[in-house]
Amino acid sequence: MKSFASITSALALAALVSAAPAPVPNGGVDVRPNDTAPVYHTMTDFDFQSLNLALNQEWIELDLFNYGVKTFSEEDFAAAGMTAEDISLVQFMANQEVGHATLLTNILSAYGRTPAKQCQYAYDFYTVRDFVNFCQRLTRWGESGVYGFLPHLDSRPSAQLLLQSITTEARQQMIFRQFSGAFPMPVYFETGISQAMSWSLLQNYLISCPAENPRIEWPIFPALTVNNDANLLQDGYLAAITHNRTSLTEAGRNVSLSWEAPKGNVSYDGLYNTTVGGNVTDPTAPKYVAWINQLNTTYTDFTITGNNTGSTIQPNGTVFENVDQGIINGTMFIALTSENPYVTPYNLSLLNDVIIAWGLYQAN
């Protein structure tokens, strides 16, 4: 005769097998047992071009982190306040990029398509402190560049995997701010930018790429330079978990800007692009400066002061009326525009059509 325990166990198992699916509130996509099983590949050209751009970003980060570890000695790192353990962390972040690049390569390779391979790069830093500062800027646009297109992907399963990699990059950006002696996370919200905005910053550091690399379709905006940009690296603030520092900039500051003219077609072997300012018909006469950060895009008037030079006033304002978080904060984005359309985080790419020049602004 079977024991009471064995009988109850069998009944519990039978109930588990025959139980109805767990209830799911109305709505949602692909969250029920009979929904289409996820397939992790690109579904449209938009998907492929977006993820291939993300792969190019992972490749430069892999090269950059390894380059820093190989180029500088332990003594160089120590002078910047970084220990052997910190160097090991940078190396581990390079290992993370191997995983990210592998993930995207696998997704992009479906149906025989060719994902990008690693290119050759040129960097403009010569000290450890400049290296970590460059890393925090590069990971800033790498992180924001994915946030901008992630909700627009046709392949939701691919978006899920990319989300799980970009959250790691967010941590990298924070760590490199700490290595720079800066406050690690000075904003309430991380902004998203369009693919063209991200690509315009990345392509500046390419020397050459394999000829088989697929063409990147996103336009390149002429570079915008902040002539009096604040320096994140300040004396007395070396690598640390956090520093409670005074703001680098403030509202009312006169900001001097210069920008390059469109260069026409540019080529990096396998990467062919056209340098354009969206659909701007007169790229010599910008009217506004767009300040893009957190949840906000704020415009200020632009005054031309010379040949491809001009100035504007840093705006004031907060993310919400009832909070004290300034809209001008952290490592953020800035653009010269011909118009000042109303945009939100979800449709920020509409700015592509009015951007004349594009760059970063070091607010804090």
Q: Specify the pTM.
A: 0.91
Report the pLDDT averaged over residues 257-275: 67
Query: Could you tell me which of 210, 198, 172, 189 has the C-alpha nearest to residue 51?
Result: 198
Report the pLDDT averaged over residues 63-73: 98
**Spans of all domains in the chain:** 45-208, 224-362
Q: What are the pLDDT digits (tens) for 308-364? A: 999 999 999 999 998 999 999 999 999 999 999 999 999 999 999 999 999 999 999
**Does residue 227 sit in helix, strand or coil?**
coil
Please name the residues in contact with 286: beta carbons below 8 A apart, sequence gap of 6 or more: 259, 302, 304, 310, 336, 337, 338, 356, 357
Which two structure tokens, joined as six digits, stand for 306? Answer: 């010379």
Architecture field, domain 45-208: Up-down Bundle (1.20)
Radius of gyration of the chain from Cα atoms?
Answer: 24
What are the backbone angles phi and psi of residue 249, rounded to the nearest 5°? -135, 170
Q: Are 294 and 329 in contact (CB under 8 A)?
A: yes
Number of neighbouring beta carbons within 10 Å of residue 263: 12
Q: What are the pLDDT digits (tens) for 89-107? A: 999 999 999 999 999 999 9
Q: What are the pLDDT digits (tens) for 207-227? A: 999 999 998 989 899 999 999
> Is the backbone of residue 236 left (phi > 0), alpha (psi -120 to 50) or beta?
left
Q: Are 80 and 180 in contact (CB under 8 A)?
A: no
Q: Which pLDDT score is estimated for 198?
A: 97
